Each structure stands twice: as structure tokens, then as C-alpha cells.
Amino acid sequence: MILSVLQQPDPRLREKSGEVQPADIPGLKELALNMLETLYSIGNGVGLAAPQVGRPLRMFVYDVSSDRNQPGVLINPEIISHNNATAKNIEGCLSCRGFEGLVERYTKVTVRAFNLDGKRATVKADGLLARVFQHEIDHLDGVIILDKAEPVPPEQQGAGARVV
Ligand code: NI
């Protein structure tokens, strides 16, 4: 089922989402599948956080593969380490339609989370995936790119942002 995605300035996008109790994880499979279906229904979307569909839970789905066949779901994600290098790149957000901005992110992060099977998972990410993880974890804390984006320089406009 395709879910409706909350749009800025909906105040629910600004709330801090709650931790998921491990016992509740099995009950989140349908939500995760619906979130992935919603993500795939939007051509350039690469990540979607539960609060964006009105569920204030610390959970997000993502797929950065070009064939859109490598979905992932992370629950209670925490960045446990990152490198010191950052990069600025263009981001959009499914909850801020029509907006693009330059956002600075760590280029490598290690995230600890639960997966949908209720198992602990540690995921190392770099490049676009690291960027998506940081963007989605921001959503879980009520932070959106309007809070941190800089204007896109003219020479980079229209380059085709990935929206998360
Ligand atoms: Ni977003």
C-alpha cells in the first residue's frame, strides 16, 4: 500500500521519534513493506523514515541501488562511529517537495541498529549510503534539510538530487 508522505511544514516532521521495543519489531514488517512500496513509487527516492509517513518510530527504509532491488530496513539506528572527512552534496527530501540544498555530511559512518528480524546489525556505509543514513537519522530526531542546507551553486543546479 502506498502511504502518503507528510509535507513540510507538518509539525509531525519536527517531533523526535520513539525507540522501538524489540518485542514490537515483528509487528513492523507490514509498515516496512508499505514504506518500501511508497519509496519505489517515487522515482528518485532513496530513503524514507517512519515519521515521514506519520509513524513516530525510530525506523527507516532505503535502497540506493540503481536497479532498486536492494532494500534495507534499520530500526533504532545509531551512528556509532564516523570518519572526520565531510562532503557537501545536493540533497532533496520527500517531505520538502521542490527544495534542493547543499548539505554537509560525514563521508563514512558505521550504524548499529536492529533489522526486521529483530537481530542486531552493524552497517558500514560510505558515499551516498552514508549520506542517506545521516539524512534519515536526522528525520528521527525531527531535523530536516531546511535546517542545514546551503543554497545550491548555479553551476550545480539541475544536476538531479537524490531525495531521501
Ligand atoms: Ni527527507
Tens digit of each residue's pLDDT (9 = 90 or more) over 37-96: 999 998 788 999 999 999 999 999 999 999 999 999 999 999 999 999 999 999 999 999
Q: What size, in residues, is the chain?
A: 164
For 23, counting Cβ atoms within 10 Å of its Cβ (0-12 exposed, 13-18 middle, 19+ buried), the class is exposed
Residue positions annotated with a catalytic role: 136
Using the 8-state DSSP alphabet, how is residue 15 labeled? Answer: S
Q: How confident is the model at residue 6 (pLDDT cuts 50, 70, 90)?
A: very high
Q: Is 53 helix (H, G, I), strand (E, B) or coil?
A: helix
13 CA distance to ligand 1 middle (Å)? 10
Q: How far apart, in whole angstroms, are the C-alpha atoms of residue 140 and residue 148? A: 15
Residue with cell 542546507: 149
Ramachandran quadrant class, 50 (left: phi over 0; alpha: psi -120 to 50; beta: rest): alpha
Domains of the chain in sequence order: 11-163 (3.90.45.10)
CA gap 107, 4 in Å, rounded? 31
Answer whether 106's CB lies under 8 Å from 82's CB: yes
Amino acid at 21: Q
- The answer to whether 151 touches 102, Cβ cutoff 8 Å, is yes
Contact 130, 3 (CB under 8 A): no
Cβ contacts of 6 within 8 Å, gap of 6 or more: 12, 13, 51, 52, 53, 54, 95
C-alpha cell at 61: 527504509
Contact at 8 Å (CB) between 40 and 7? no
C-alpha of residue 80 to centroid of ligand 1, in Å: 21
pLDDT band at residue 161 under the 50/70/90 scheme: low
The pLDDT > 70 percentage for the chain reads 96
Ligand 1: distance of its center to the CA of 116 in Å? Answer: 21
